[in-house]
């Protein structure tokens, strides 16, 4: 296999993590909204967990984008 083709295939596979991050963020916010509508008094206590989950999920997505860019543009 050509090394250039392998590099493009690896970058494409690494970009799948961005889709996973998008799905994860959507699920985090949908479950928070579901819980907040069921019990509005407890939503303020769970808001910090919501922000932490969002940050971790987005960090994993950005990390997969970084890996894809490194595969494409690094030596």
CATH of the domain at 67: 1.20.20.10
Q: pLDDT of 5-61, one tens digit each? A: 999 999 999 999 899 999 999 999 999 999 999 999 998 999 999 999 999 999 999
Counting Cα atoms < 13 Å in the Cβ hemisphere of 31 gives 12
Asked if the model's pLDDT at residue 75 lies above 70, the reply is: no
Give the domain range for residue 66. Answer: 3-73
Task: Please state the domain count of the chain.
Answer: 1
34: tokens are 């579901």
Contact indicator for 15, 65 with CB cutoff of 8 Å: yes
Could you give the 3-state DSSP secondary structure of residue 42?
helix
Going by pLDDT thresholds of 50, 70 and 90, the confidence category of residue 1 is confident
Scan for tokens 């963020």, then name that residue. Answer: 25
């Amino acid at each position: 296999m050509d090394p250039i083709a392998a590099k493009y295939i690896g970058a494409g596979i690494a970009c799948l993590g961005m889709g996973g991050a998008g799905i994860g963020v959507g699920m985090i916010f949908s479950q928070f909204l579901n819980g907040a509508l069921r019990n509005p008094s407890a939503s303020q206590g769970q808001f910090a967990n919501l922000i932490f989950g969002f940050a971790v999920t987005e960090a994993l997505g950005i990390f997969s984008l970084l890996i894809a860019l490194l595969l494409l543009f690094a030596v």
